């Protein structure tokens, strides 16, 4: 009873705080069925989902997809659907691309979407000066011409994944005229898109309020108002949903998920998602020692973590490909073997009495039991001769450090790959020229270089499987598990789980 009251107090305190900021408009959210309040697990650093580190943060794609539309849409099962493009493809020899732009779409300011908005967005994304973190992908096509609603462009450098990216990270269409008029700062102050919800109010690190777009081409959404409360602490998210201050939340501890979904007035849904938990390994001391890298991997009981800490909600993995990904290879195994880990460390002069020492970085509350999982791993390492110090950071700091190649020797991250392609898991996480990689070495690049533009799909996938096998043998990264996402919500609602992990308001409806 003491624990329940503590959670209630936390939830009501957060509610009162937000209510004051919003002049009372959120305080009635529990009783106002026209408002959907989401206790969200991440802050929103920027409204531009095409530039900077935030653009490749899977945790905030739900917000971007609410305000903006993508070139190509994606269903909750990850299948591709028409978005702002109704059709797309290559010519026969794959030297050109073509795209048909949807007619009758308007921006939030009432002006019409045009094919020029699409070509401008593509060209802007391809320009490294704009800060798109995957500009090289977008630069693979260009020299666009417009004929009516059809866009034609040249393939400058064949990329077999270009249309997949149009439904993925940074694949958002922005308004050319409006953005050019107000500039980057003006766009941050008042962003407009074509999406189902329109910007209404924002308080950094606190909340974002959106209003329904009555002219949305996909139909007016179910709720007139959506409020994203930024609640990065998992315990506070539990309090939000338990107190009724929020209508839906996600990424709560699994023991809380099991408890809450059995409570009167609440319900829950959980399903495997395209996110994987992993430990980046940085090519600095002491991780330049292969024995240390492999020992750190062999010492981790992933199945035990999933069973005991995550209550079975997860799938242990040994590669950066989850079972649903195109290049998943079940034959790649590393295995839990603490004896072998101790032997590898001994070969490099380390033991429990003379441990190898390094720092491990982790988020705390972004994913269920992330910090506790790292605590468990550090305990497992200690038993074989590894002494690791835990440093806690938020996800924005992780991106800052990763982009500048300053991560600690090991660093926890959840990698989202909603298109399931090996280039967007293994490729971008491990290629030395990628700003998203921690391990950078020529041997790995040499294996990857021919695969980026490989036109033979079977050969391309086989090549990436070989890369994954080599990475496992060298210990260049430590994959941990595929996540299952817990979502708790009021029983008056219906929530469709999204395999991409994006809890989009359009996937929530009234019963």
pLDDT in tens, 165-217: 999 999 999 999 999 999 999 999 999 999 999 999 999 999 999 999 999 99
Residue 310 falls within a domain, yes or no? yes
Q: Across the chain, what does the average pLDDT equal?
A: 93
Q: Domain containing 238 — which CATH number?
A: 3.40.190.10
Residue 64 falls within a domain, yes or no? no
The strands making up 141-147's β-sheet, listed across from edge to edge, are 85-90, 96-101, 150-155, 141-147
Residue 58 falls within a domain, yes or no? no
pLDDT in tens, 131-153: 999 999 999 999 999 999 999 99
| 8 A C-beta contact, residue 378 and residue 412 | no
Whole-number pLDDT of residue 9: 38
Residue 118 falls within a domain, yes or no? yes
User: Does 411 lie in the same domain as 346?
Assistant: yes
Indicate the number of domains in the chain. Answer: 3
Binned at pLDDT 50, 70 and 90, residue 15 comes out as very low
Residue 55 falls within a domain, yes or no? no
Enter the pTM of the model. 0.85
Whole-number pLDDT of residue 324: 87
Residue 60 falls within a domain, yes or no? no
Sequence-ordered list of residues with C-beta below 8 angstroms from that of 270, at least 6 positions apart, any chain: 257, 313, 484, 485, 486, 487, 497
Residue 32 pLDDT exceeds 80: no
Residue 12 pLDDT exceeds 50: no
First to last CA, the chain: 31
User: Does 450 lie in the same domain as 310?
Assistant: yes
Domain holding 103, by residue range, is: 69-175
User: Does 410 lie in the same domain as 339?
Assistant: yes
Whole-number pLDDT of residue 193: 98
User: Does 492 lie in the same domain as 343?
Assistant: no
Angle between helix 2-21 and helix 234-243 axes, rounded to 10 deg: 90
User: Does 80 lie in the same domain as 44?
Assistant: no
Q: How far apart are CA 505 and CA 42, in angstroms?
A: 15
Whole-number pLDDT of residue 19: 43
User: Does 184 lie in the same domain as 250?
Assistant: yes
pLDDT in tens, 342-385: 999 999 999 999 999 999 999 999 999 999 999 999 999 999 99
Whole-number pLDDT of residue 33: 84
């Amino acid at each position: 009873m003491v624990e329940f009251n503590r959670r209630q107090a936390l939830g009501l305190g957060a509610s009162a705080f937000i209510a004051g900021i919003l002049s009372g408009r959120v305080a009635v959210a529990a009783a106002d069925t026209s408002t959907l309040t989401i206790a969200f697990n991440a802050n929103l650093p920027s409204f531009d989902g095409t530039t900077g580190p935030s653009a490749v943060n899977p945790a905030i794609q739900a917000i971007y997809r609410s305000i903006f539309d993508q070139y190509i849409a994606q269903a909750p099962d990850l299948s591709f659907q028409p978005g702002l493009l109704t059709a797309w493809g290559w010519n026969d020899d794959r030297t050109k691309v073509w795209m048909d732009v949807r007619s009758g779409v308007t921006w939030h300011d009432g002006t019409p979407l045009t094919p020029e908005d699409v070509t401008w967005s593509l060209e802007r994304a391809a320009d490294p000066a704009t800060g798109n973190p995957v500009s090289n992908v977008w630069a693979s096509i260009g020299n666009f011409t417009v004929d009516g609603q059809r866009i034609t462009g040249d393939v400058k450098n064949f990329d077999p994944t270009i249309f997949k990216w149009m439904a993925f990270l940074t694949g958002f269409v922005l308004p050319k005229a409006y953005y050019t008029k107000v500039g980057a700062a003006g766009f941050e102050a008042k962003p407009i898109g074509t999406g189902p919800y329109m910007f209404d109010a924002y308080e950094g690190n606190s909340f974002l309020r959106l209003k329904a777009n009555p002219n949305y081409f996909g139909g007016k959404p179910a709720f007139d108002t959506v409020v994203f409360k930024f609640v990065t602490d998992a315990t506070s998210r539990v309090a939000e949903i338990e107190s009724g201050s929020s209508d839906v939340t996600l990424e709560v501890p699994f023991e809380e998920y099991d408890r809450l979904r059995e409570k009167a007035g609440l319900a829950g849904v959980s399903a495997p998602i395209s996110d994987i938990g992993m430990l980046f390994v940085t090519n600095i001391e002491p991780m330049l020692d292969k024995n240390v890298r492999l020992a750190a991997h062999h010492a981790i009981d992933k199945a035990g973590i999933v069973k005991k800490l995550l209550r079975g909600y997860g799938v242990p993995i040994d590669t950066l490909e989850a079972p649903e990904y195109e290049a998943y290879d079940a034959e790649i195994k590393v295995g839990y073997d603490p004896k072998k880990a101790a032997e590898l460390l001994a070969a490099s002069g380390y033991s429990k009495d003379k441990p190898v020492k390094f720092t491990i970085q982790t988020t705390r509350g972004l994913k269920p039991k992330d910090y506790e999982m790292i605590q468990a791993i550090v305990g497992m390492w200690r038993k074989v001769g590894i002494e690791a110090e835990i440093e806690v950071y938020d996800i924005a700091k992780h991106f800052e450090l990763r982009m500048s190649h300053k991560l600690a020797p090991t660093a926890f991250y959840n990698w989202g790959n909603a298109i399931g392609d090996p280039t967007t898991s293994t490729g971008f996480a491990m290629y030395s020229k990628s700003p998203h990689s921690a391990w950078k070495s020529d041997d790995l690049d040499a294996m990857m270089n021919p695969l980026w533009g490989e036109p033979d799909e079977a050969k391309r996938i086989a090549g990436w499987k070989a890369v994954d096998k080599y990475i496992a043998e060298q210990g260049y990264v430590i994959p941990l598990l595929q996540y299952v996402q817990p979502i708790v919500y009021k029983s008056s609602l219906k929530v469709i789980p999204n395999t991409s992990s994006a809890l989009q308001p359009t996937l929530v409806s009234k019963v």
